[in-house]
Chains A and B, each alone.
Chain A
Amino acid sequence: DTGVSQDPRHKITKRGQNVTFRCDPISEHNRLYWYRQTLGQGPEFLTYFQNEAQLEKSRLLSDRFSAERPKGSFSTLEIQRTEQGDSAMYLCASSFGQENSPLHFGNGTRLTVT
């Protein structure tokens, strides 16, 4: 179990640029989640996958956000035309998707939009 890994750890971008983050879940896990966390807040759900299928997308997620999980392995989260309000920690988590299955979080990607 090598844990959930996310890349990059930090990303600084200018407003209007596109950014892409990658998440590699624990290999045995079929569920993958993306959360966003801002200072002083708990993680906020964005979207999740069961294998390669995207099952739910938060209403908070604008059309500028898109996520993929090709082949049910790693996932990418892309933000187009970034805005300053997108600055946050983006957390990826994975699980077995069963009762008693905890979420295993990665260390996150901290995005700063200037």
Chain B
Amino acid sequence: QQPVQSPQAVILREGEDAVINCSSSKALYSVHWYRQKHGEAPVFLMILLKGGEQKGHEKISASFNEKKQQSSLYLTASQLSYSGTYFCGTEVGRGSTLGRLYFGRGTQLTVWP
């Protein structure tokens, strides 16, 4: 039930845009996005629920295609601080399983000045 992320790695110049994709073979209830810097804990970015789309940050947004069971994270005008590994976490149920996430293997984003 692990989602598949692509690409595995992205290298950008400051100010460039990037898209990270996350797809699942299972019907999804929600998709969570997290960023993790080396040696640190994953930090929450945003949640997308079935039937909605949510923007969590100024230049970082995401979409959720329920029919295709896919989500994409959009990073515009990237900053040096965006560097890190981005994980999508997928939720397949409600109720007692709420918050129980399956994480992808991550996309390593590097932004150069």
Contacts and interface: CB of A to CB of B under 8 A. Distances in A.
Interface of A: 4, 31, 33, 35, 40-45, 48, 50, 55-56, 91, 95, 97-108
Q: Is the interface of B mostly helix, strand, loop or mixed?
A: mixed
A45 B49 contact: no
B87 to A, nearest CB: 5
Interface residues of B, number: 24
Contacts of B87: 42-43
Interface of B: 2, 30, 32, 34, 40-44, 47, 49, 87, 89, 96-106
28 contacts: A31-B99, A35-B103, A41-B106, A42-B103, A42-B105, A42-B106, A43-B42, A43-B87, A43-B89, A43-B101, A45-B102, A50-B96, A56-B96, A91-B41, A91-B42, A95-B99, A98-B98, A99-B30, A99-B49, A99-B98, A102-B44, A103-B34, A103-B44, A103-B89, A105-B34, A105-B43, A106-B41, A107-B41
